[in-house]
Amino acid sequence: MTTHTHPTLPEFDYIQPKTLAEASQFLAQHPDEARPFLGGTDVFVRMRDGFLTPKFLVDVKNLDGTNDLRFDPQAGLTLGAAVNMNRVIASPDVQEHYPLLAEACRLVASYQLRTRATVVGNICNASPAGDTIGACLALDGVLHVHGTGGLRREPLATFFLGPGKTTLKPGDIVTAVSFPVPPKGCAGAYLKLGRNKLSDLSLVGVTVLGSPDPGLPSRFRFRIVLASVAPVPLVAAQAEAVLAERAVAPESIRQAAQLASEASTPIDDVRASARYRKLMVRNLTEMALTEVWKKLQK
Amino acid sequence: MEKTNTPKSHSPVGESKPRIDAREKVTGAALYADDIQFGNKLLHARIKRSPYPHARIKKVDLTRARALPGVKAVVSGEDFSGYIGLYLKDRQIFCRERTRYVGDPVAGVAAINPEIAEKALGLIEVEYEVLEPVLNPEFGASPQAPLLHPDLGQYVVASFILPRPGSNISNHFKIRKGDVASAWKKCAAVIERKYRIPHIQHAPLEPHVAIAKVDESGEVTLWDSSQSPFAQRDLIAETLGISQSEMRVIAPLVGGGFGGKAGVSMESLAVAIATKVKGYPVKLLLTREEEFYTAFVRQGLVATFKMGCDKNGRLLAMENTFYWDGGAYTEYGVNITRAAGYSCTGPYEVPNIKADSYCVYTNHPVGGPMRGFGMPEMHAGLEQCIDELALQIGMDAVEFRRRNCLKGGSILPTGGKMHPTGLSECLEKAAEAIDWGKKAPPTAPNKRRGKGLALMWKAPAMPGNAGSSAWIELAEDGMLTLGVGCQDIGQGAFTVAAQMAAAAFGVPYESVRVATPVDTRYSPYEWQTVASRITWSTGNAIINAAHDARQQVLDLVAKAWDETPADLDIVNGMVVSFKSEREIPVKDLAIKGLPKADGKGWMGGPIIGRGNFMPADVTGLDPETGQGEKAVVHYTTGAQAIELEVDLDTGRIDILKGVAAFDVGKAINPDMVKAQMEGGLIQGISSALFECLQLKDGVVQNPSFVDYRIATSADLPKSVQSIIVEVPQDDGPWGARGIGEHSMVPTIPAIANAIYDAIGIRFEGPPFTAEKIYLAMLEAGIVKG
């Protein structure tokens, strides 16, 4: 039982490093006391609620390249860590080549929040409910990580370890996330179910990305990623496999949706029951796959 | 601008004048209590609260907290005596022997900043003996329940509230009318249903805030966000043992009230702490979490209805029982119980009635007034039963209501007669606007579409002698300053007050200023800004004040011109004579009077008018039968109709169209009346689909906007139609009666009836969340598992 009523933020020191090296060094030197932050939309709330009590908040927003949003027809898209979601949504390159990412960003919180919130922040926060993570996984996102040992690349597929837990080590700063050029003719959808229509956290989120793939028996490849129904953003691999092997049709879509539902391991909480969530994984996956399949046939 | 040259216009009453406070609110210039600067002597208060729903306080040790540098005062229950409360004085400012809800104030700190105050709370040591809590009003009313207020018999109580000492029932309102037992036999159909309506919260944008200062002589000033500055003056002064004139309340604009800022709640904490640090202003600002479970909440309700009708659909009998989850203290909530009791039949004539409305102490947050004052909760079940009864005898639900609803002269459940009412017109217009009886196809194959309708009535619930007053002063420029003690809580009270003063005196709307903020030292008395009573009650006081000032002007001019006042009028700020066709601007005589005809001396003087109003003919009701001549001043009636779709894939509800039709007597400002209808519909939709304080073992599980969802603009119906019906109130200003609360009363049952029409399922209570709907459809085989 709690009567903690959270009047103020706990005290902390704000650190604004000048270079990435300096930032990594500081973070590495204070492994249990320092925390990097971007828009702060999550970290400040969690600090006020008493879940986080960092001694130092290290602002990594203004470091080299973190404000860049770049698209190259060969190399693909790079989103700097500090690029806010409204910028992502407004980018013509994103709209043309990565509409799924823009769609996912649009369903995050509210416009006001999205002027602060970042895609990289959403990823590093590693909440299973993160609305943009599904799109980033489906689009084969790769993180650019600056650590004490210099720069390295970290694929998103193996990044998430648990709620709020990732492979990042003290001193690591994600400077950007990049995406290869999406497969030709691909189409995507993100369906989010909240309690009301606007600004809720997702009770269930389903991301689907489909693309023609002549190498597969079904000639189509689907990526399916589920939000809020497992300790980490969940790739529904068995469901993806069914759609790779069997001809894409209402029946195989239903089967895939059922498999996605079975793969999910949601919990009961104040937002929804596990039972409802599992049912909604099935229904939303079927809806999302049907929608994407329709787009692919055009 | 030369006000007196404004071209002659229609009366400012009945015109949709722009809000008097629009500019300051839109530009951000408007001052709210938290905006007021108090300089560097300001202290910040925080409250140590009970973590248990029910516990005995064994020991409170303030020593360590007092020793913390920066702390100026630490107080606990031992520092104060007495009780506080509006209708039943059952509340201590700080708990003494016992705590009764999670959040109950045990101690308070004032410090030089909020951080130190918060730190000091951690140094206060409290030892509790945890007691068995009461978490359900039906159990609470039973003899097996632990007694939460053993001193109930000693509490000071209003004459019309009937507590049962020795139990947890703090009010039992009864109606015994006709012969219910034998009526059932005459019925062609009888249904019996039970509903549970959850607690919800007002969720105002601006949380409660109070700043209190006690000067060396002991005089108290309180600045706060308040609907009830005068009631706070009265109740807090009495509890502190000071005189009412030594207590001054200054109430700037309110950022949302909805009833939650009526009466006294957290304000007494700030004042109590301030008495220990004389000369220092002490500010207490609730956090959102505190707002959710330590400010008033809307009481929960467990209601059973039994009702029957003959084969022609005529209602013959009702037997209704309400168990209100009043929470830890029911000082205000007891009267909600009473209001639900005397309104228990809804807006229908029923010859045989047995009703029991119980206010029950529980260890839940403190129940208090909220928009509708028990009526949304009561109508939620009642108006579903009406639909079900109509269905059972095979009658259309609108036709059933047409036959049974109150008309002028109908006999009320309390025995008196209904005044003229436009309820039937509201019913017809709402039904017509929603295309009642016509079924439109769903917008998509995975949707089911339905329509529902509900009626309502509500009276202002207040003591029979709740008074209002007003004054009017003229200035050199002919502007009229209007003093009122009512509060603008966003409903537009100041705008309507200015319109009425302008019309009653004879100046354009633009020539009226309202003297704000309300300040009990300078503003005229007003009982409280509650009960949708302001337009009606304050309006009458304003008319009286305007007529008083006007008479002074006319008498003076008549004397100067040697005419009779009856031949004179004030039009657009000009005194005109119909007889001599002379005219003179009011501003020319407003302050300095007029010279005598012979030039030797002056007559008149600064014009100031005063007026008051108090209902005179409300009678008590028999405690055993609930019968009496006139239970309330009047009833506002109305109807809402909803068209919606249920999504079969998710269970989600889309409100396609909302229609509201209310009899407001006279719309003083039609656009603002419509705004009230729209706002109430939206709040009603929000409470029907989303809102619920999730209580588990007495702890609110969702005290934040993350998990207490309220409707956003995206959740609103695409189409909203508001219909004004005007059957005048005989004692209302221009025939007006209130509309503020009524507009959210019938929304829950209108939506429930539409859901039933769409999917054939009924629920025990709101909120009708997507999950609840989907799982019920699964159960019913409408969707597959």
- pLDDT tens-digit readout, B505-549: 999 999 999 999 999 999 999 999 999 999 999 999 999 999 999
Q: Which of B109, B208, B649 to mutate to test the interface with A (most CBs of A within 10 A)?
A: B649
At which of B285, B316, B342 does a domain end?
Answer: B285
Q: Are residue B281 and residue B306 in the same domain, yes or no?
A: no
CA B253 → CA A162, B261, B515, distances in Å?
Answer: 48, 12, 12
* Residue A8, pLDDT score: 78
Q: Are residue B488 and residue B379 in the same domain, yes or no?
A: no
The boundaries of the domain holding residue B273 are 41-131+208-285
* Residue A257, pLDDT score: 98
Q: What is the pTM of this model?
A: 0.97
Under DSSP, the state recorded for B84 is B
Q: Are residue B409 and residue B504 in the same domain, yes or no?
A: no
Q: Are residue B369 and residue B516 in the same domain, yes or no?
A: no
Mean pLDDT for B555-578 is 97
pLDDT category at B33 given cuts 50, 70, 90 is very high
* Residue B770, pLDDT score: 98
Contacts with A268 from chain B: Cβ below 8 Å: none
Mean pLDDT for B119-141 is 98
* Residue B597, pLDDT score: 86
Percent of chain B residues past pLDDT 70, beyond the cut: 99
* Residue A10, pLDDT score: 87
- pLDDT tens-digit readout, B420-467: 999 999 999 999 999 999 999 999 999 999 999 999 999 999 999 999
Q: Which of A2, A5, A111, A254 to mutate to test the interface with B (most CBs of B within 10 A)?
A: A5
Closest CA to B274 of B266, B282, B286, B264: B282
Asked if A8 and B114 come within 8 Å (Cβ–Cβ), the reply is: yes
- pLDDT tens-digit readout, B224-261: 999 999 999 999 999 999 999 999 999 999 999 999 99
- Nearest-CA residue of chain B relative to A7? B287
Q: Are residue B473 and residue B601 in the same domain, yes or no?
A: yes
- pLDDT tens-digit readout, B727-753: 999 999 999 999 999 999 999 999 999
| CA-based end-to-end distance of chain B | 71
* Residue A6, pLDDT score: 61
CATH code for position B449: 3.30.365.10
Residue A120 has pLDDT above 60, yes or no: yes
CATH topology of domain A13-59: 3.30.43
Mean pLDDT for B76-98 is 97
Residue B302 has pLDDT above 60, yes or no: yes
Q: Are residue B633 and residue B565 in the same domain, yes or no?
A: no
- The verdict on residue B175 lying in a domain is no
- Nearest-CA residue of chain A relative to B774? A276
CA torsion sign, A100 to A104 to A110 to A113? Answer: negative
Which stretches of chain A are assigned E, i.e. beta strand?
13-15, 34-37, 56-59, 69-72, 76-80, 142-147, 150-155, 160-162, 165-166, 173-179, 187-193, 204-212, 220-227, 234-235
At which of B563, B595, B613 does a domain end?
Answer: B613
pLDDT category at B785 given cuts 50, 70, 90 is confident
At which of B259, B285, B311 does a domain end?
Answer: B285
Asked if B50 and A3 come within 8 Å (Cβ–Cβ), the reply is: yes
Where do the CATH 3.30.465.10 domains begin and end in chain A? 69-179
The count of domains in chain B is 3
Burial-class residue B368 by CB neighbours within 10 Å (0-12, 13-18, 19+).
Answer: buried
Domain A187-297: CATH superfamily is: CO dehydrogenase flavoprotein, C-terminal domain (3.30.390.50)
Q: Are residue B49 and residue B107 in the same domain, yes or no?
A: yes
* Residue A3, pLDDT score: 53
CATH topology of domain A69-179: 3.30.465
pLDDT category at B4 given cuts 50, 70, 90 is very low
- The verdict on residue B244 lying in a domain is yes
Q: Are residue B330 and residue B442 in the same domain, yes or no?
A: yes
Tell me whether residue B741 is one of the annotated catalytic residues: yes
The whole-angstrom separation of Cα B514 and Cα B681 is 29
- The verdict on residue B198 lying in a domain is no
- The verdict on residue B117 lying in a domain is yes
Asked if A284 and B290 come within 8 Å (Cβ–Cβ), the reply is: no
CB-nearest partner of A280 from B115, B650, B697? B650
* Residue B10, pLDDT score: 59
- The verdict on residue B195 lying in a domain is no
Under DSSP, the state recorded for B53 is S
- Nearest-CA residue of chain B relative to A10? B115
Q: Are residue B425 and residue B484 in the same domain, yes or no?
A: no
The whole-angstrom separation of Cα B132 and Cα B148 is 10
* Residue B70, pLDDT score: 98
Helices and strands of chain A, counted as H and E runs: 11, 14
The whole-angstrom separation of Cα B539 and Cα B16 is 17
Average pLDDT, chain A: 96
Residue B3 has pLDDT above 60, yes or no: no
- pLDDT tens-digit readout, A1-54: 445 666 678 899 999 999 999 999 999 999 999 999 999 999 999 999 888 999
- Beta pairing partners, B248: B221
Residue B108 has pLDDT above 50, yes or no: yes
Active-site hit among B206, B526, B691, B741: B741
Determine the length of chain A: 298
* Residue A263, pLDDT score: 98
Q: Are residue B301 and residue B253 in the same domain, yes or no?
A: no
Q: Are residue B637 and residue B564 in the same domain, yes or no?
A: no
Where do the CATH 3.30.43.10 domains begin and end in chain A? 13-59
Q: Are residue B680 and residue B755 in the same domain, yes or no?
A: yes
Asked if A5 and B702 come within 8 Å (Cβ–Cβ), the reply is: no
Q: Which two tokens stand for residue B667?
A: 């719309």
CATH code for position B240: 3.90.1170.50
Task: Report the gap between the CA of A148 and the closest CA in chain B (Å).
Answer: 36
Contacts with A270 from chain B: Cβ below 8 Å: 694, 701-702, 707
Q: Which two tokens stand for residue B493?
A: 């009270």
Asked if ipTM goes beyond 0.85, one says yes
Q: In terms of DSSP H, where are the helices of B690-783?
A: 747-759, 770-779
Residue B499 has pLDDT above 80, yes or no: yes
